[in-house]
Amino acid sequence: MNDEGGLEITLLAFGPLAEALDWKQHQLTLQSQLSVGQVLDILDLGGWNEKGLITALNGIHCTLSTELKDGDELALLPPVSGG
């Protein structure tokens, strides 16, 4: 755990989500242990979640109820559309 007593996670965003957030990688310090869904709420990404946002924790697909730990890497993958 980091010196402040919180959890530090790395967020990765891809595609149009990275453009909307204006970052591809971001460090986020949480004051308590949260779930993936709670972090999405903090980031105000509910609309993306409704469109089919996929989340992966440390390279493995995860659910919104997955609890985050210090040092985790959370990837946010928006749905892909083709034509």
pTM of the model: 0.88
Instruction: Look at residue 5 and tell me whether its pLDDT is greater than 80.
Output: no
Could you state, in order of their start, the residue ranges of all structural domains in the chain?
Answer: 7-21+32-77
Identify which of 22, 8, 4 has the alpha carbon closest to the alpha carbon of residue 72.
8
- Dihedral over alpha carbons 60, 32, 24, 43 (to 10 degrees): 110
**Helix or strand or coil: residue 63?**
coil
* Domain covering 7-21+32-77: architecture: Roll (3.10)
pLDDT in tens, 32-80: 999 999 999 999 998 898 889 999 999 999 999 999 999 999 999 998 7
